[in-house]
Amino acid sequence: RKEVEQDPGPFNVPEGATVAFNCTYSNSASQSFFWYRQDCRKEPKLLMSVYSSGNEDGRFTAQLNRASQYISLLIRDSKLSDSATYLCVVRVRTNAGKSTFGDGTTLTVKP
Amino acid sequence: DTGVSQDPRHKITKRGQNVTFRCDPISEHNRLYWYRQTLGQGPEFLTYFQNEAQLEKSRLLSDRFSAERPKGSFSTLEIQRTEQGDSAMYLCASSLESSSYEQYFGPGTRLTVT
């Protein structure tokens, strides 16, 4: 079993749709959580950190459930430019340098 | 451009040859990371440095792989006796010291072993 698991998709949604991605992690010592975005043949870029209380950045909302070891990302009012692969990332405090990435969920937003 | 840079961007080599990649991190970042990514998968951690000290190495980093950061600035990743399975994108990232700080990625070096 992988340390960080994501539904690979692909998710194909129309513009304006709301879409949610899920991520589960196996290491209960995990302390820091992130969502990264990766465009085709480009490097990953931080989309947002995920805080225990949940956090929102414009159309994007991230949630963390430590008890279930589950992270989610909600995108509202999808734009064509949201088409990308979304990577769930987990770090363990005692292993602070290493980030463990999921394999990503691919989103395609269509007109 | 003050982001993370990597050189070369692409490398094609024959099986059995040695290759070396370079990464220049963001100047004030004391942490530097190497990852490997293959198609359809997320980046896999290889190793990281804090200043010049290599603090962790993945079991993915076989004896054929070696990384250095001699002066705590740029880093090199060398692969000896390349194999076809080494074909991948090699990503470098840098950050400030803390698990909560963002890791900034470079554009990667795409290695093809023929």
pLDDT of B62 over the 60 cut:
yes
Give the CA count within 13 Å in the CB-facing half-sphere of B48.
23
Indicate if the pLDDT at residue B74 is higher than 60.
yes
The percentage of chain A sitting over the pLDDT mark of 90, rounded to a whole number, equals 77
The DSSP 8-state label assigned to residue A106 in this structure reads: E
Region A50-64: mean pLDDT is: 93
Q: Cα dist. B36→B7, B11, B27, B46, B56 in Å?
A: 15, 14, 22, 7, 15
Q: In this model, does residue A95 exceed pLDDT 60? A: no
B42 vs A101: CB contact, 8 Å cut-off?
Answer: yes
Residue B72: pLDDT above 90? no
pLDDT attached to residue A29: 87
Mean pLDDT calculated for residue range A10-24? 96
Mean of per-residue pLDDT scores for chain A: 93
Helix, strand or coil, per DSSP, at residue B32: strand
Q: Are A1 and A102 in contact (CB under 8 A)?
A: no
pLDDT value at B99 more than 80: no
Q: Which pLDDT belongs to residue A94?
A: 55
> Per the CB < 8 Å rule, is B44 touching A4?
no
Sort out which chain B residues have CB atoms less than 8 A from A102's CB and list them.
42
pLDDT single digits (tens) A30-56 = 888 999 999 998 999 999 999 888 899
Best residue of B36, B92, B105 to probe chain A, by most A CBs closer than 10 Å: B105
